[in-house]
Structure formats: C-alpha cells, structure tokens
Structure 1
C-alpha cells in the first residue's frame, strides 16, 4: 500500500521507537534472565515511549513481544520458566503502535559467547536482510528482494523459512504486499514509491522445515537446529531505500 509523506513520518516515529525498545532489551540479555523478565522490561519501555504493543491481543497472541530462543524461529511466548543461558541465541521481535501507525523490527542477540557456527548464522541472516533491503527500490519486484535473500542464505549453507514472510506495514501490522524470503527475480508484485514494507529473513541452520508447538504460536525448526531472525521496516523510493527502523 502506498503511503503519503505525512503517513510515512508517523510510521518512522513508530519504527524508531520499536527499534529503540528492541536494542534496549538487547542490552539486558544475559545468562539466567527469564524471557518473561524481558517482556516486563519491554512493557515499561513502551509506556515510557508512549506506544502500545502491536502484538498483544493480535489474533489472541498473549504477550507484548515475541522472544524465540535457539531452535525457536518466531512467535515464542515469554515465560518465567524460560531462562537464558550462556551460548544461546535469542531473537526478539518488537511491534508497536504510535498514534495509529505501526513499527516492526526484530534482531537476534547472543547470550554471552556462542559457537562459531552460530556467529556465522547470525552474520549471514543480518547480511541477507541488508542485501534484501538494497532491492527495495520502486520499479523492482518483490521477487527481486526474495531471490536475493534466498540465494545469499543458501550460498552460505543455510536455509530460508518458507511459511512466514515479510509484509507491508503502516495502518495495520500486516499489510499488502507479502515479502517472502524465497522466489525468482523479476517475479511478483511491482514495488511502488512510498510503500513501507517489513523485510525479515528467518534463516535456519539446517533444513527449512518448521512446526508449531502445542501453544499454537511458537514456531520451531523441525530438526531442532537453530534459527535466526532479523527484521527492519523500509521506505521504498525511486532511489536508495530508507530504513525506518534505524536509530
């Protein structure tokens, strides 16, 4: 969906607030902290920033943020019983609403020192996001973003999750168009100037296959290998795209 400049300014404020909250949570990550404690801190930060959670109550999701640890891909529910430990990787997804406009971002953090293979998983996923963002130019197609992410990830020996995708962001959390992390260049919807889209590679250490746990939300890798997730919201322009979730 194409936005007005006034709308984009509001979306940018929401995006910057979401990223600020996300990175403040990142500073709190350490061994022996529960994911529930991180959610409590997120709620304090949201109140301070005068925003509300975009996730809580969305399709009955029970928490204010998503926290996914190790083999959890996305949509992990914070819990007092889930305690982070040295060597874990933990992805936090923060979505907020500011004056009716949405911001959405995610980042995978390390808990202390992690194995080299997980360092690579995080670095490849982060780089795949940046490479995808470079293709978010008016006149390109969605497949130009999707294929760029997929090819880079697979060339590094990892796999992309297919069941979940990026999306438009603005007056709603999930808007048109959908931005998969796999596809063919030159295919899909044409990107239009002043679209605002969330690009979010979800990258698995092993196979791309996933399953959903009995809580109805938490997505995990089928082979129990680890997964990483990075997300930014981007303003599509004729020239270089602008990362709205940049602080």
Structure 2
C-alpha cells in the first residue's frame, strides 16, 4: 500500500500537476466543434502538454494505451481512443480525460463538452453527473468515512433516475497514476478508511442515462454502455485539508469554489 498521506513538498508538486491538467481542458475548449476529428484534438493536447507545459501525457503508452488523452463520445463511458475517422457531430456529448506527469507527479481530470446544442436529456445527464461530483466534494473533510463519497453520489444520481457505473472508480494519485485508496462512486461500506488531511485522490463518477452495465469493445479499451444509453463523467483530483478539500484540477469556468470549507 502506497503512503496515503502526502508531504508538503509532494502537495506543492501535486498542485502544479493538477493546475496543468486543468489548463489543458481550458485550452482545448475552443477546438471542440462539429466536423473536427478526435485525432486532431489528441494532437493539439499532446503538443500543448509536451511543448508548452514541458510535461508528459500520462495516458500515452499506459498499459499500451495508444494516445495521449481519452475522448469518449455519447454512449462511450470511458477510455475512448482518439482517431481520424471519429468526427464530432452536432448534438454529441463528449468527455475529454486529461492525465499528465510533471516533476514525476500526476494530475488527472475530465469534463463534458457539448458539440453544438445538446438534447434536453444530454444536458440533464451532464448536469446531474457534475452536480453529483460537486455534492460529494462539498462533504469531504478529515474524519469522514470514505464510503460517504459513493453514498452521496449514488443517492443523488438515483434520485434523478440515472445510474452509476460500478466497474470504475476514483483512486489515490501522486508519484503513481493509481494509488490507494479506491474511491467507489456507489454506496459500499466495505471500505472503512477514514479521510485524513494530506490525502490526494480523484473522484470521477460515470453516470449513465439508462442501465449501469457496461461492455468493452474489441480494441480492449473503449467502454460503452450495454444498452447504448448516453454516459457522462466529470473528474477532479482533490486534496483533503484541515477545513475540507482543495480542488487541485479546478477550472476557471466552474460554479464551485477551488477551496471547499466544510464546517459541518
């Protein structure tokens, strides 16, 4: 088990990595337009990470993943592989997942984008996915049982008649892409870890409009909803602080504060 509590110098590096990952999502927004192929988006992000930010795209080559970022459209839940043949269409919803390494430390974040005007369902699904993440982050503080995060997310998602994917979870992050602890996005009391100041991990609920079941495509990476329903995901890397948590991958246009103070 990796050392879960980060030192001050590690936290400083993680703030840098998180900010950098967030900046990639801010930068790419203007390129997310109809008729653009996902390979081009991958190239723009790769060049920005490597040349502008002097960092390493963490996904490239990770367990053999062939590209620098993941792009997941409509019924793709996660790990979509960018390619020239895949072209954004009016009405698509798109998740872009960015993970980078800077000074040997990882930053990891993702968000949804709309191509043109989304359907009412698409918009609502993305809103509920983002709100479920925000709600869970607002509850985080030292002393809280870890399972509460998943409980808050699942309760909110179910109340809105959507479902939570159970196969994939958030994770500790630091010098390694995936560390302890696992952050489940559904109610599960098996994980009896208590949150402590200095923990850094991702929360990244994947929310389906239909059933929670998913299936893996022949490429061994692309995960789709089994019933072909739409899927949405938002992800942040967060640091547990004495007052609540800091969102290390916070982006400028978000409706949530980068420093969450939990007095309850």
TM range (shorter): over 0.9
> Tell me, what secondary structure is at the counterpart of 2:94?
strand
Equivalent in the alignment of 1:136 = 140
How many Å apart are 1:136 and its aligned residue?
Answer: 2.3
Distance across 1 between alignment mates of 2:249 and 2:207: 20
Flag as ranges the 4+ runs of structure 1 deviating above 3 A: 184-187
How many Å apart are 1:185 and its aligned residue?
Answer: 6.5
Equivalent in the alignment of 1:18 = 21
> Which aligned pairs between 1:78-117 and structure 2 lie closer than 5 A?
78-117=82-121
Q: Tell me how many residue pairs correspond in the alignment.
A: 247
Equivalent in the alignment of 2:49 = 46
2:70 to 52, 66, 69: 66
Distance across 2 between alignment mates of 1:58 and 1:124: 30
Residue pair 2:142, 2:244 contacting (<8 A) in 1 also: no
Equivalent in the alignment of 1:146 = 150
Structure 2, gaps ≥5 residues long: 252-264
Distance across 2 between alignment mates of 1:38 and 1:23: 13
TM-score, structure 2 normalization: 0.91
Structure 1, gaps ≥5 residues long: none
1:193 aligns with 2:188: no
Equivalent in the alignment of 2:256 = none
Residue pair 1:71, 1:227 contacting (<8 A) in 2 also: yes
| Cα RMSD after superposing both structures | 1.1
Equivalent in the alignment of 1:209 = 213
TM-score, structure 1 normalization: 0.97
Residue pair 2:13, 2:105 contacting (<8 A) in 1 also: yes
2:34 to 23, 31, 36: 31
> Tell me, what secondary structure is at the counterpart of 2:232?
strand
Residue pair 1:144, 1:186 contacting (<8 A) in 2 also: no
How many Å apart are 1:188 and its aligned residue?
Answer: 2.7
Cα distance per residue 1:152-178 (max 9 Å; x no partner)? 011001000000000011111111000
